[in-house]
Amino acid sequence: MQTPYSRIESIQGPDDVKKIPSEEIPVLCAEIRDFLIEKTLKNGGHLASNLGVVELTVALHRVFSTPKDSIIFDVGHQCYAHKILTGRAKDFSLLRKENGLSGFPVRKESDHDAFGTGHSSTSLSAALGFAEANRLAGNDAYVVAVVGDGAFTGGMIHEALNNCKKNQRLIIVLNDNEMSISKNIGLLSRYLARIRVSRKYNGTKRRTKAILRKIPLLGAPLFRFFSTVKEKLKRRAFSHNYFEDLGLTYLGPVDGHNEEILEKCLREAKNRQSAVILHCITKKGKGYAPAEENPVAFHGVSGQKKDDNFHTVVGRTLCALAEKDEEICAVTAAMEEGTGLALFGKTFPERFFDVGIAEEHAATFSAGLAAAGKKPYLAIYSTFLQRAYDNVLHDIALQELPVRLLIDRAGFALADGPTHHGIFDVAFLSHIPHIKIWEPVGYGSLVAMLEASLKETAPLAIRYPNGEEDKEVVDAFYPERDYATFGVRGLDMKGARVVFVSYGKAASWAYSAKRLAEKEVPCGMLLLETLKPYRETAKAVLTLLADADKKAALFFVEEGIQEGGCGMLLREALLQEAEEEMQRRVYRIAATSDGFSSPDFSKEKLAAQALAALNGDMA
């Protein structure tokens, strides 16, 4: 019996894709699009980018043979069709869910995922590693790097291009969906591209070369003359093609939605047995009108609309502050929508800077703005800030420049998985000199922090999670709505025998556990909204601890890593401030030591552990 996805269901792996008759390939591509739209709109995920590479992915798997040949997708979120064609369609109901199918290539998930690419612009460096390893091993495997959806704006791609060699079995597919490289190549160049990938043209070129070289005396000069003429004509058409200037063979541009042409081009690239650039023109959101018309809005879908969240509050507040202060600038690294800065960009275009997928440059550029007297706010996801560590350390902190880091997506990213967990920034920022770290519990204190940040004369990091505030926790700690007094706040501390200590999103879990545990023993809670400097935080904690039972156990709940994290550093600061006072038991629940696993933050588990800690039964 035929089902809407009969062809997809028949595919157990890439070999099955190769068996499909050419005339049925357009039907397969249409089926894949319908499948992606249905599953992604229902379960969430990256939609527009994946709709744009359907024909390209099908062509890749008909020409190359994974896992012998390696296909590396960059950015990795454009790999959904690849997962379908490698036998994982049945797992899409659990796409981006815990213990389900990842939205990115994952080596442990399949042998067909050659390299994990959760961050952008890494594919070509990895592909060069594969290509050189293949050469050293003496095998004839090919490596394909599919670079697109903005990845080409990342500096690593250009560093890797500088190290490409002509004799490598490397094919770089430039997926140009006009979201990264503009359409600047005309009809003549497309005509030249068509004839350059034809077997007849390349066969004629090889035969002409052989014949000319056999002519005594005149052969070599004639060959050089014709080669020079050809290069001049080609350079005029391609306006000094960047890739050919680097010594790489360039094919294209070609229609990235014509599977037949793509196959032909990929086979020609393969026949060259050398490093080749294949330039494909694709349309992000292809085949789904809403995504074609607004690819940014359909880049990632979640299935639920939120009117307010932390990053929308950031965007609105920065606009309000910038109305009064002309020195305020906003900077992002290709995350204008994701970080909530789209409104700022529309309102203050002259003071808004999207530098592309170049986090290192974004940090040092912000440092330059600060050194020149401006007030830069750099909004960046926690997981991507890791790439700019050196720039934050040397270019911002060492010079004590007042760059305001707005660290979005702080905490676990359970849908995206380990590559997007924002659980390392507290630890690596904590040991960088001169920088402060704040984290608001809700929108009110976030606004207060942004207002207070204008007076800061040194680096500052304000981190916040993806999502909405927990109104119950905000009401508990700010009953008077006096947000300007953000810092360290206590709740039910008088006579408490267990004191939960937490910050950020983890404060919600700690608060729920406190409510449960206090049915058995008096429980208090300390909310940290200022983390570093830790000695100042420790003094505030000790003041509030004075009301608790002298033997009260401290139970720290943290969404960051344990090693070098807030819990560890705050305990050390408390001991330095009052060693005798801190003879009490201190326990920490945080991300596990491997840094990528989420601990059990359920209120039942946390409450049970806190009670065990009180009795000294917890390790």
Q: Which residues are catalytic?
A: 284, 359, 387
CA distance 264 to 267: 5
| Residues 6+ away with beta carbon under 8 Å from 242 | none
- The values of phi and psi at residue 301, to 5°, are -120, 145
Task: Tell me the three state secondary structure of residue 354.
Answer: strand
- The values of phi and psi at residue 378, to 5°, are -100, 110
Q: How far is CA 602 from CA 511, 513, 557, 599, in A?
A: 11, 8, 11, 9
User: How is 535-586 classified by DSSP, letter by letter?
Assistant: HHHHHHHHHHHTTS-TTPEEEEEEEEESTTSHHHHHHHHHHHH-TTGGGS-E
Parallel, antiparallel, or unpaired: how do β-strands 404-408 and 70-74 relate? unpaired
- The values of phi and psi at residue 159, to 5°, are -65, -40
Please, what's the b/e burial string for 573-604 (b: 16 or more CB within 10 A of its CB; e: otherwise)? bbeebeeeebeebbbbbbbeeeeeebbebebe
C-alpha of 266 from chain center: 29
CA distance 382 to 272: 42
Six token digits for residue 280: 């494909």
CA distance 574 to 556: 13
Amino acid at 161: L
CA distance 67 to 99: 23
What sign for the dihedral angle of Cα 466, 108, 137, 82? Answer: negative
Six token digits for residue 293: 């018309």
Q: How far is CA 480 from CA 85, 358, 485, in A?
A: 57, 42, 11
Parallel, antiparallel, or unpaired: how do β-strands 530-532 and 436-438 relate? antiparallel
CA distance 296 to 205: 43
| Residues 6+ away with beta carbon under 8 Å from 286 | 33, 51, 52, 54, 257, 292
CA distance 356 to 350: 16
